[in-house]
Amino acid sequence: MKAVFWVVIIAALAGLVWGLARWRRQWRERQQAAEARMASFIAQASPSAPMVESTPPPPVAPQERLLLDAAAKAGEAGEPALSIQLYAKLLARYPHSALATQARAAVEAQKKKLVQA
């Protein structure tokens, strides 16, 4: 009688373990399906522009930063011509710098100040 009791207990535990493993596998499949649906929804909701990996901007050399700072200070000091020259030097030496767009915008602002003066 004890042997039958232990066989029933072992079978019940094995059934419980099997049931939990099956439930966990199904739950994981449902989670993956939900993530796939969410990714599909987001892809449909976003604009149709191609996904382009953004590359980090190149590191800024200390000389670039110094030229930018000097040009900005010259502009603040009321020397738009000197400021434009320094920005031009920055753009000539480092045309593809991360600071190039900022320098170009500042040159346009300084040109306006130079025309007004």
Angstrom distance (rounded) from CA 93 to CA 6: 85
The domain spans of the chain are 1-45, 62-116
Reported as a single tens digit per residue, the pLDDT across 24-76 is 999 999 999 999 999 888 888 877 656 667 777 677 888 999 999 999 999 99
Angstrom distance (rounded) from CA 105 to CA 112: 11
Which amino acid type is present at position 6?
Answer: W
- Please tell me the pTM assigned to this model: 0.52
Rounded to whole angstroms, what are the CA distances from 1 to 5, 7, 14, 16?
6, 10, 20, 23
Name the token pair of 70. 């000097």
Residue 32, Cβ density class (10 Å: 0-12 exposed, 13-18 middle, ≥19 buried): exposed
pLDDT at 57: 67
